[in-house]
Copies of this chain bind each other. A is one copy, B any other.
Amino acid sequence: MLANLFASMPADTSCEAFDDLLDMPGLRIERIVSHGQKSPPGFWYEQDEDEWVIVLQGSATLQVEGHDTAVVLATGDHYWLPSGLRHRVDATSPDSPTIWLAVHRR
């Protein structure tokens, strides 16, 4: 089926929007749209699945356990988050949507 990543953008910008583009055994591909959101204070993602993430619009700042400095993702930047690697989103673009593509390997 043909669909577009930039279509059906969420109208509600008060929270992040998570949409599965593909959900198969072994593989899930997700679009995430952020509007300045960041992880709550003290919250860390710690996932069972490996995740390859790319920012396709906007920008984001990640904090990754074991890294002294923040990981800043500009448009086109991609990053590998193996399962169990604790990370959090410290910032996303405040003025325009940040569109992420997240590929999860199960």
Given A22-B52, A52-B22, A56-B56, are A79 and B2 also a contact pair (CB < 8 Å)? Answer: yes
Contact of A3 among B4, B7, B77, B103 (CB under 8 A): B77
| Binary CB contact string for chain A from 1 to 38 against chain B (1 if under 8 A, 0 otherwise) | 11111110000000000000110101101000000000
Question: What is the size category of the interface that chain A forms with chain B?
Answer: 20 to 34
The reply on A89 being an interface residue by CB < 8 A is no
The complex is assembled from copies of this chain, and their number is 2
Question: A residues touching B (Cβ–Cβ < 8 Å)?
Answer: 1-7, 21-22, 24, 26-27, 29, 50, 52, 54, 56, 71, 73-80, 101, 103, 105
| A29, B52: Cβ atoms closer than 8 Å | yes
